[in-house]
Chains A and B, each alone.
Chain A
Amino acid sequence: MKKIIQSLIILSFLAANFYGSAFAATVKIATEGAYAPYNFKDAAGNLVGFEVDLAKMLCEKAKLKCEIVEQPWDGIIPSLVAKKYDAIMAGMSITAERQKTISFSRSYSTEPLRFAVLKSNSLAKMDVASKYLSLPKLDSGEKKSIMEIKKAMQGKVVGVQTSTTHEAFMKKYLPEIALKSYDTMDNMLLDLEAKRIDAGFTAISSIKPAMEKNNTIMEVGPSVTGGILGQGVGVGLRKEDTDLRNKFSSAIESMMKDGSLQKLSVKWFGFDTAPRN
């Protein structure tokens, strides 16, 4: 019995070891699979989306052998630090807060956030003077717009995905408004359509496909960028993996130059989200 237990322990360590290092040569890229159109699952159960295609193209350019793995959003950063995989491509914005723990490649997608509402909701007629809010420094007109949003949203409930820049923005700039946090974007959109929340605050790339599927959804309010929302979406990497970071960054640069990044984003988002610089 003792021997059996001993060998079981050794075996399990070996197995765990194997599980961790068998693919040491491949770069493992984690994605969430519930953030369409960045990454989601089709009916065949396959991971698809902008980032899935992009990952393949980047790896090809950088001559890396890659494998895409699925990881729920909660815990996606600690698992990277713990070396469960080597990179994150999951619609993750580059923010100062996250850069305390991990590093990022240059951005491969930038896009503003807006409110998604149902056309039948009174918020659909929300009238805000500024078309854009560029964080973090707001001019007087933009400050006035924040007040306008606050007024229009009094008594309303806004949904966000938990632990996102979207949530951080709502808490910092519109703390008076009731907030509901969802584990996935999918669930938030289900509740928006079911009228459990009055608005969802999210990237326009999430709103557009929802609008296509359901023509009662629309986007309202100013397009918000910068500051607390980060500097676009990038590949998340461990701080010490500078070599891998440079490879990803230059692959993104080259895809920006030859226009393939723009093309790919139009394919998935219907508009160009490629960074301008």
Chain B
Amino acid sequence: MDFELIYTAFPKILGGLDKTIILALASLSIGIILAVIIALAELSRYSIIKNVAKGYVYLFRSTPLLIQIFLIYYGSGQFHNFLDSIGLWMFFKDAWFCAILALSLNTGAYTSQIIRGAIETVPFGSIEAAYAIGMTKLKAFTRIIFPIAIRIALPAYGNEVILMVKSTSLASTITIMEITGVSKKIIAMTYQPIEVFMIAGFIYLMLNFILTQLMVILERYLMRHTY
């Protein structure tokens, strides 16, 4: 065990933490909005909307995130003239934009299934009761169905959050130097993967531990009326 390496490499790898957090937070926030829209679209009465939503979910859940990232980043580069002419290249030019776009679309697809599943398991009695006291459809959704569904979805969503933190490591393949990117660089320079792995692994575990605790607190807060 090379303690000197651990001592010198730790701050360097920790320097990638902010990028990992930004990637995760940005794509989780965009992803959850997307997921709600997709989940509602999947429950829609119109078959076109339903099928588009289903197709999107199928595409993003059945293919590797790595290829989604490569397709968005390097694939868009092939059409930079076209994208420039419609004013979109300024976004696609940025590796950050591409990474967050890919991660958001990906988590959006997974999260939509968690939300849809939760909405479908909301007890029918509570929906009937809401209508019975004269709530409109919208009111019943925002006041009854959605709050109950969120509570049902929370544990599964907690897992998705952890998966997303792990997925941000793929941003390193398109030049973003987050924790894994920095680690790989140090491994390639020092050829001492075990020490570097321990540092990076420790940082990821800590990050995920904190996130898990936050989810538990959130869960407790939302469940406070349950018993």
Bound Cα distance A162, B188 (Å): 9
A190 to B89, CA, bound (A): 15
Contacts of B189 in A (CB 8 A): 163
**A74 to chain B: which residues have CB within 8 Å?**
184, 187-188
Q: Are B78 and A194 in contact (CB under 8 A)?
A: yes
Is residue B202 contacting chain A, with contact meaning CB distance below 8 A? no
**Distance between Cα atoms of A220 and B163 in the complex (Å):** 45
Q: Is A183 an interface residue (CB 8 A)?
A: yes
Of all chain A residues, which has the CB nearest B177? A181
Q: How many residues of B contact A (CB 8 A)?
A: 17
Contacts of A187 in B (CB 8 A): 74
CB distance from A216 to the nearest CB of B (A): 11
- Cα A20 to Cα B80 with chains together (Å): 46
> Contact partner of A195 among B80, B184, B187, B188, CB < 8 A?
B80
Cα–Cα distance between A207 and B53 once the two chains are bound (Å): 45
Residues in A neighbouring B175, C-beta threshold 8 A? 180-182
Partner pick for A196 among B95, B185, B188, B191, CB 8 A cutoff? B95
Q: Which residue of A lies closest to B181 (CB)?
A: A181
Which residue of chain A has its CB nearest to the CB of B188?
A74
CB of B189, distance to nearest CB on chain A (Å) = 7
Interface presence of A88 (CB below 8 A): no
Would you give the shortest CB distance from B122 to chain A, in whole angstroms? Answer: 46
Whose C-beta in chain A lies nearest to the C-beta of B70? A187
B93 contacts partner chain A, Cβ-Cβ < 8 Å? yes
Q: Determine if B77 and A183 form an interchain contact, defined as CB atoms under 8 angstroms apart.
A: no
Structural contact, B77 and A191, CB atoms closer than 8 A: yes
Q: Mark B86-105, 1 if CB is under 8 A from A, else 0.
A: 00010001010000000000
Decide yes or no: A162 and B78 within 8 Å by CB, A77-B191, A195-B93, A196-B95 being known contacts: no
- Taking a contact as CB atoms under 8 Å apart, the answer to whether A163 and B185 are in contact is yes
The verdict on A148 contacting chain B, using a C-beta distance below 8 Å, is no
- A194 (CB) vs chain B CBs: closest residue: B77
Nearest neighbor of A196 in chain B, beta-carbon distance: B93
Chain B min CB distance to A119 (Å) = 14
Are A163 and B188 in contact, with the CB atoms below 8 A?
A: yes
Q: Mark B173-215, 1 if CB is under 8 A from A, else 0.
A: 1010100000011011101000000000000000000000000
User: In the complex, which residues of chain A have a beta carbon less than 8 angstroms from the beta carbon of B184?
Assistant: 74
Residue of B nearest to A162 (CB): B185
B interface secondary structure, majority: helix
Complex interface: chain B residues within 8 A of A45 (CB): none
Contacts of A193 in B (CB 8 A): 77, 80
Specify which of B80, B173, B177 is in contact with A194 (CB 8 Å cutoff). B80
Which of B93, B177, B185, B191 is within 8 Å of A78, CB to CB? B191
Q: Select one of B77, B93, B95, B185 contacting A190, CB under 8 A.
A: B77
Query: Measured between C-beta atoms, what is the minimum distance from B69 to chain A in Å?
Result: 13
What chain A residues lie within 8 Å of B191 (beta carbons)? 75, 77-78, 81
Q: How far is the CA of A182 from the CA of B95 in the complex (A)?
A: 12
In the bound complex, how far is the Cα of B175 from the Cα of A181, in angstroms? 6
Known A-B contacts A74-B188, A77-B191, A196-B93; A183 and B173 likewise in contact (beta carbons under 8 Å):
yes
Query: In chain B between 30 and 65, which residues have their CB closer than 8 angstroms to a CB of chain A?
Result: none
Q: How far is the CA of A77 from the CA of B189 in the complex (A)?
A: 10
Residues in chain B near residue A162, CB distance under 8 A? 185, 188
Q: How far is the CA of A187 from the CA of B184 in the complex (A)?
A: 17
Provide the bound-state CA to CA distance between A77 and B190, in Å: 11
Q: Give the docked Cα–Cα distance between A162 and B185 (Å).
A: 8
Residues of A within 8 A of B77 (CB): 190-191, 193-194, 196
Cβ distance B40 to chain A, nearest Cβ, rounded Å: 36
- Output the least CB separation between B19 and chain A (Å): 14
Q: Which of A94-124 contact B (CB under 8 A)?
A: none
Within residues 188 to 229 of chain A, which ones have a CB less than 8 A from any CB in chain B? 190-191, 193-196
**Which 10 residue pairs of A and B lie closest in terms of their CB atoms, listed nearest first?**
A194-B77, A78-B191, A74-B188, A194-B80, A180-B175, A163-B188, A196-B93, A190-B74, A190-B77, A195-B80
23 CB < 8 A contacts A-B: A74-B187, A74-B188, A75-B188, A75-B191, A78-B191, A81-B191, A162-B185, A163-B188, A180-B175, A181-B175, A181-B185, A182-B175, A183-B173, A187-B74, A191-B74, A191-B77, A194-B74, A194-B78, A194-B93, A195-B80, A195-B93, A196-B77, A196-B93
Known contacts A74-B184, A162-B188, A196-B77; 5 further A-B pairs (Cβ under 8 A)? A78-B191, A81-B191, A193-B80, A195-B80, A195-B89
